Amino acid sequence: MQIHHTDNAPAAVGPYAQAVSQGDWLFTSGQIGLDPSKGEMVEGGFEAQAKQVLANLTQVLASAGCSFSDVVKATIYIVDMGDFPTLNAIYGEALGAHRPARSTVQVAALPLGALVEIDLVARIPG
């Protein structure tokens, strides 16, 4: 197992890695809408947080030589299912024509008051 880390995404807020790889597979930890330069949740509600989550994941994927086109599975946790249409628009824009498998579940709460969290599984190219 190899641990992957980038300073361009928020540091882990607990005893875990931003991502680990095993063989050709990369598993990211969940990312929330923390601004990596400030260590604080971005302002602007669900939309701003969702965009920051995807920006953070872009950097975590890049730390292992991956991009969204390498993602095979996404798991998304949202506090309010009413944000689902907004999530789909932002997620669809970030992933373009690529369509990995995905689960989206509503949860009661997320760390640091986040409104959305996403983790990914990707195939490392090569």
| Averaged pLDDT for residues 98-114 | 97
pLDDT of 43 reads 97
Do residues 24 and 72 make contact, with C-beta atoms less than 8 angstroms apart? no
pLDDT of 81 reads 98
13 has pLDDT over 80? no
* CA dihedral of 22, 24, 29, 31, whole degrees rounded to 10: 160
109 has pLDDT over 80? yes
Structure confidence at residue 35 as a pLDDT band (50, 70, 90): very high
Percent of the chain with pLDDT over 70: 100
Domain ranges (residues) in the chain: 2-123
12 has pLDDT over 90? no
CATH number of 2-123: 3.30.1330.40
- Tell me if residue 81 falls in helix, strand or coil: helix
How do residues 68-87 score in pLDDT, each as one tens digit?
A: 999 999 999 999 999 999 99
Q: How far is CA 82 from CA 68, 88, 106, in A?
A: 25, 11, 10
Sign of CA dihedral 60, 28, 55, 92: positive
Dist. CA 3–CA 94, nearest whole Å: 25
pLDDT of 93 reads 97
Mean model confidence pLDDT for the chain: 97
Dig out the tokens for 89 from the structure. Answer: 């628009």
Q: How far is CA 41 from CA 33, 36, 86, 111, in A?
A: 5, 9, 18, 10
Strand pairing partners for 117?
77
pTM (two decimals): 0.96
- Tell me if residue 89 falls in helix, strand or coil: helix
pLDDT of 126 reads 85
